[in-house]
Structure 1
Amino acid sequence: MMVNSDAPNGTHPVPSPEDLKLLELSQKYTAEAIKRLRPDGLDQFVPLKKAESERFRALAEDPWVDHAALNAKESPVAEGTTYKFLILGAGYGGLLYAVRLIEAGLVTGPNDLRFVDAAGGFGGTWWWNRYPGLHCDVESYTYMPLLEETGYVPTHKYASGTELREHADRIATQWNLHDKALFRADVKAVRWDDESQLWKVEVTEGRGPSAPSRELKLQAQYVLLASGVLTNPQVPKIPGLDSFSGPIFHTARWDYTITGGTPEDPTLTGLEGKRVGIIGTGATAIQVVPKLAKYAKELYVFQRTPSAVSWRGQRPTDPVEWKTKIAYKKGWQRERCLNYDSYLTDAAEEGQKNLVADGWTEMPAYSGVLGSPRYPIVEPTPEKIAEHVGRLYKLDMARSERVRARTEEIVKDPETANKLKAWYPCWCKRPTFSDEYLQSFNQPNVHLVDTDGKGVDAANQSGLAVAGKEYPLDILILSTGYVTPAIGGGSPAARTGIEVYGRGGRSLDDKWRNHGAATLHGICTSGFPNLFFMPLSQSGQSANNVLTLEVGTEHTVHFLAQAEARAGPGAIVEVTSPAEEAWSFEIAKQAAWHATVVGCTPGYISNEGEFLREQQQQVQDPAAQFKKARQGNWTRGIASFMKVLQEYRDEGSLQGVEVTARAA
């Protein structure tokens, strides 16, 4: 922090007014975070599929799938068939894998490529999520993949969930992928067979309530894990929740038979005359609450931690602007993505034009989680870490104050406005943007139930209880998010819910649990040949997740193309242990940057406060600290990470990767 340099010699420096303000703010942030720590940590939630109650397990089922239509078609996979590329996931990540493989000429035969996905169609999170008000929070011109290749023009600056799902189908149509996907299929286990040098894949295909499921054993030369980070919806362990007598559902499985309306026409007439409760005030609830408020007789919003809600600025796409200022040259989308990212990593050049110019690009302090090329690696000393964290707090302070002031300006009731203010830096929770959410609390039928960081105490047959007061409800909606991708130390298997076993039957989860994250460039790991996964740990990250997916798929396909050029179509590609250790050490050297996250309020990014709890417990075991450091990310921003990958590809030798030909 800055100090007054005019202090007389021999005396302590006098803190500047800004220093004192920052100190007060950091103390407030810390107090708010500690208030929300729970002794059960990650155990306060359970994935819907693993809930003890059959009622909650049923909430995980696909409400959108057309079983009759899928059952009437010939199955795209056959028992015992060997596929060249088996892509586990059919969202944007899986589609990008497929498109890049096709473009590289690696898909030539009818059985070269297959998708397997639990959903009933393409789209990933955009298949499952169809709640009213759903839009992407990142500008559609940068978020929607392959816009140049498809020639599609998004209808608005922020695309609706329906439009995003339709775009997934558009990609599948353009690249002839519709007959290459096995939907409604859960992958139970993926096992490397040392003798055949193929992956053995165990799949259960569901066929709806009127037909028995089908057990399948498939084989694949390459397995590509394409599950996203918003994969497993979770339900809070609230005592008595299962006893609630009214309808209850999760926002990731919206039930329009209860609310009325459709994803395309959210006229929620089923809520008229009803007392509706929604638990959660994160990025989903920000979009849902205004729609509920329009129709419910009474709406109760149960809040543990308020969201920082900035302006959105939604508008239709201007056709002239699209042709002359957005899609006006080849390569425009990647250029726009990197321009956007430069503002979030505090790397925008002086005089540079802000192409996206939205609320995200007002947050250079978001580099607290993404990293920045502007600063060197943070030395892991108390002094340097404090300097680093202090700089980011200072960088964030004015914006956070504007967001809190905006809350005061919009929400008329001072007490409600005060409870809706977010007391944490911008990098601690997914930032939110809305021109409707805060305004909803000015409606007489909308009631904020602030739990002072504790969450809902209990439920009963008629409603919920908070701080000794009961709130009778007719309908309850769970906007309680997803299992954190940091589960299992960030293991690609744990976050996808698939058991993965490599050479000698070694579990990928066990490798991560016992050894820590170990990859080359965040996409592959030693002992698991021909297995690739979407980058999370040990990679560069962007707030625009599709850019992260693009970078991962491009690099993976480079490995595969180069391997087949060397060893033919039966190539076996595997990272060496020295190479993944060298990369893991490079990541661990950068770990002190993420000290910014340690003090964050409990939530998705902070692993529900586990990082802060570990700090409080003063865990000093060097081995444990190094294992945790390996789970971090590249902290120079994704543009810097992309440069590293490009230099690796340009060098051309596939350093650190062994390529052999599969035995005949």
Structure 2
Amino acid sequence: MTFEPSTDPTTGSALDVDLDALRAKYRQERDRRIRPDGAAQYRRAAGEFGYYAKDPYTPWTERAPREDRVEVLVIGAGFGGLLTASRLRQQGVESLRLMDEAGDVGGTWYWNRYPGIHCDIESYVYMPLLEEIGYVPQWRYAPGEEIRRHAVAIAHHFDLYRDTLFQTRATGLSWDEEDEEWLVTTDRGDRFRARFVVTSSGTLTQPKLPGIPGIETFRGHTFHTSRWDYGYTGGNQDGDLTGLADKRVAVVGTGATGLQIIPHLGQDAQELIVFQRTPSTVDVRDNRRTDPQWAASLQPGWQRARMENFLAVLAGEPVEESLVQDGWTATTRLQRKILSGAVDTSLSPQERERQDEIADAHTMNRLRARVDEIVEDRATAEALKPWYRYMCKRPGFSDTYLPTFNRPNVTLVDTADTGGITRMTETAVVVGDTEYEVDCVIFATGFEVGVSGVISGTLPVVGRGGRSLLEAWARGPRTLHGFYSHGFPNLFHLSGIQNANSVNFAHILLEQAEHIAAVIGRGHAVGARAIEPTAQAEDAWVNTVHETAIDNRAFQAECTPGYYNGEGTRSIAGASYSPGPIAFHHLLRQWREGDMGDVLVHGRLDDARASQNVGAAR
């Protein structure tokens, strides 16, 4: 046994951690949940299941196909697209088009309107451009509708509704070598052209469904949380789901969304059955209204300073004072297992891992003890305890989730030993040999995380020489700084691929938007014909990302299955820039101070250069 004495960081009292026993318990619980089909256990909300992804919020509007031209097309009108378009507008770009499958701006916050929805990042650092819009959020952790309305305010403030295409999905991007611009096709019959294209199609918009046998035979009511059916449930984002008063309701999924909807469903449904594969960690949320005196005291530049401070604390960088003190800033050391950032190089890797594991055990022991303190039924409490390392799943926060299981009308069904729900019949959800008769099934099963249309191939991209982006990335993504790729001129991506990462991804998107706008602005200023990284610059960056990558494969292999580790089948090591967002943003600023010669193309992209560069890339 490895018996490690230590001290509880909260109480200062001595604690002992039996690491060998804890590892064995974690491994046992992981093995109960691993499925051989991995991520294939889910199915897309497409084809015969496409109705799960239909827009319930905006009536369909017919329009004639577009065959015009714009200077910049931004695909995606969530925060990434809005921020990029805003910064481009500030650069003086007038011919600018936003395009999105949704009926309005907002991205994730357009689609997700379920009861109880709040951001789990402090609103003062999460909601971008607060000072520019002149707004201070009403809550520390803002509700979804407040965030959605802020997205709309950004669009109005920067005049982004001028030339939008909503309810429109891009179906193809093809580089026209003669005219040196992109031909864009859509599912609305559009065939228009754009000199520059920015893809910000999001990674939390395409819902996924569990591949439950018989799901299509169920005759009751079903919907995905990202397309909440208030016509059936009644109520609104604040709850009051009166339509469920005589309904037996099933919820599938207990991740971040489940933590927020289940308290409302438990309060309003006649009966609620929660189907859980893996319990989430549930720490204190402690949400509260914004103090008006604090809001009135804020000085110009306050939000950028607070955002930078939060990002630095989470990245492990030294700060004089942590301005945001919450569950995220209290666990920064543990977040290094997944998120990029600085590490304590004064310790050997072995000692650093040992100390991290002990600290992790203390945090998880505290969270498991919280379950015991709140949940009255012992068997239910045991099933709700998370047995894995802290960052194996995205941490959860709620003050109302655990007490919901003390309600007499709420039942928890743990599906770990059956590999999930066994099947569905016309009237029931079946786990093992037990049937649970229900009137409604709500799928809180999340999204195709990290799979944009560009990555999945649903948005084919064909660059110079007829080469597809997926072909160029066949052995892994190839970019310069995560933004652009050799052979695909004037095409920019917003994502975490070979870029920075943080739990406050809105801040990451803001930095990405400012970088893209600055590069396009410099290109205009110096008369560059196109923007495209050289093969050499791309090679160098890919090598840098790989050489600096922190290998967390062993950690993720021991984790309970989830989207962080591809349901136990893969690692996300090396996906982003491991030294962290502070180091990455500093690197970008230094790069922008140079001549940008490795991306700005001044001569025509003629066939000779194309052949030379494609050869170098290969």
2:464 is aligned, of 503, 506, 520, to 503
Partner of 2:331: 363
Question: Aligned in 2, Cα 1:469/1:663: closer, same or farther, shift over 3 Å?
Answer: closer
Corresponding residue of 1:82? 69
2:494 is aligned to 534
Amino acid at match of 2:209: V
Change (3 A) 1:119 1:171: same
Q: Aligned equivalents of 2:556 and 2:539: distance in 1?
A: 25
Tell me the equivalent position of 2:559. Answer: 600
For the 8 Å contact 2:484–2:491, the answer to whether it is kept is yes
Measure, in 1, the Cα distance between the counterparts of 2:115 and 2:368: 26
User: Within 1, Cα distance between the matches of 2:358 and 2:538?
Assistant: 36
Contact 2:550 2:578 in 1 (8 A): no
Instruction: Write the letter of the residue equivalent to 1:607.
Output: G
CA distance in structure 2 between the partners assigned to 1:592 and 1:177 by the alignment: 40
In the other structure, the counterpart of 1:642 is 585
- Choose which of 390, 394, 413 in structure 2 pairs with 1:449: 413
Letter of the 1:84 counterpart: E
CA offset at residue 100 of structure 1?
A: 0.6
SS at match of 1:585: helix
For residue 506 of structure 2, what is the aligned residue in structure 1?
Answer: 546
8 A Cα contact 1:302 1:449, kept in partner: yes
What does 1:384-463 correspond to in 2, within 5 Å? 389-452=353-416, 454-463=419-428
Which of residues 313, 327, 331 is equivalent to 2:301? 331
What per-residue deviation string (whole Å, max 9, x for no partner) do you get for residues 486-520 of structure 1?
Answer: x5xxx7712584111111222212222x2211111
Deviation track 1:339-359 (CA, whole Å, cap 9, x = no partner) reads 22333333344xx33212111
Say whether the 8 Å CA contact 1:567–1:661 is kept in structure 2. no
Match of 1:116 among 86, 99, 117: 99
**Higher mean C-alpha displacement, 120-129 vs 590-599:** 590-599
Q: In structure 2, the residue corresponding to 1:191 is in which secondary structure?
A: strand
Q: In the TM superposition, what whole-angstrom CA distance separates every residue of 1:225-279 from its partner, at most 9, and x where no partner exists?
A: 011120210111101111111000000111111111234x532111011110000
Does the CA-based 8 Å contact 1:541-1:637 persist in structure 2?
A: yes
Residue number in structure 2 paired with 1:13? none
Number of corresponding residues? 595
- Unpaired runs of at least 5, structure 1: 6-16, 206-214, 379-383, 613-627
What code does the residue aligned with 1:478 have?
F
Secondary structure of 2:259's counterpart equals helix
Aligned to 1:211: none
The one of 190, 199, 207 equivalent to 1:225 is: 199
Q: Is the 8 A contact 1:203 1:216 kept in 2?
A: yes
Check conservation: 1:343, 1:363, Cα contact below 8 A: no
Residue type at the aligned position of 2:330: E
Unpaired stretches in structure 2, ≥5 consecutive residues: 6-13, 607-618
Whether the 8 Å contact between 1:575 and 1:657 is mirrored in structure 2 is yes
Shift of 1:579: 0.9
Write the distance in 2 (CA, Å) between the matches of 1:246 and 1:476.
Answer: 8
| 1:494 maps to 2:455 | yes
Instruction: Summarize the Cα distance change of 1:472–1:219 in structure 2 as closer, same or farther, 3 Å threshold.
Output: same
TM-score by length of 1: 0.85
- Residue 98 (str. 1) matches residue 100 (str. 2): no
**2:601 corresponds to 1:659:** yes
Find the residue that maps to 1:346 and give its secondary structure: coil
The residue type equivalent to 1:369 in the other structure is I
Letter of the 1:293 partner, please give it.
Answer: G
Residue type at the aligned position of 2:601: V
Say if 1:116 and 1:181, in contact at 8 Å, map to a contact too.
Answer: yes
- Per-residue CA distance 1:64-100 (angstroms, 9 max, x = gap): 0133xx55xxx6x963211100000011111101111
Q: Which residue of 2 aligns with 1:633?
A: 576
CA distance in 1, matches of 2:184, 2:486: 19
Query: Does the alignment pair 1:296 with 2:269?
Result: yes
Match of 2:121 among 138, 146, 149: 138
| Shift in alpha-carbon separation, 1:137–1:225, aligned structure 2, 3 A | same
1:300-315, aligned counterparts within 5 Å? Answer: 300-315=273-288
Which secondary structure state, in structure 2, belongs to the residue aligned with residue 611 of structure 1? coil
* Aligned-residue RMSD, C-alpha: 2.4
Q: Relative to 1, partners in 2 of residues 1:268 and 1:492: Cα closer, same or farther, differing over 3 Å?
A: closer
Moved more, 17-26 or 280-289: 17-26
Superposition TM-score, scaled by structure 2 size: 0.91
Alpha-carbon displacement from aligned partner over 1:35-60 (angstroms, at most 9, x marks no partner): 2221111211111024xxx3x21121
Between the aligned partners of 2:294 and 2:139, the Cα distance in structure 1 is 12
Alpha-carbon distance in 1 for matches of 2:4, 2:187:
67
Residue 161 of structure 1 pairs with residue 127 of structure 2: no
Look up the match of 2:476.
Answer: 516
Q: Distance in 2 between matches of 1:346 and 1:25?
A: 26
Q: 1:198 aligns with which of 166, 181, 185?
A: 181
Secondary structure of 2:288's partner? coil
Query: Which residue of structure 2 lines up, in the alignment, with residue 343 of structure 1?
Result: 313
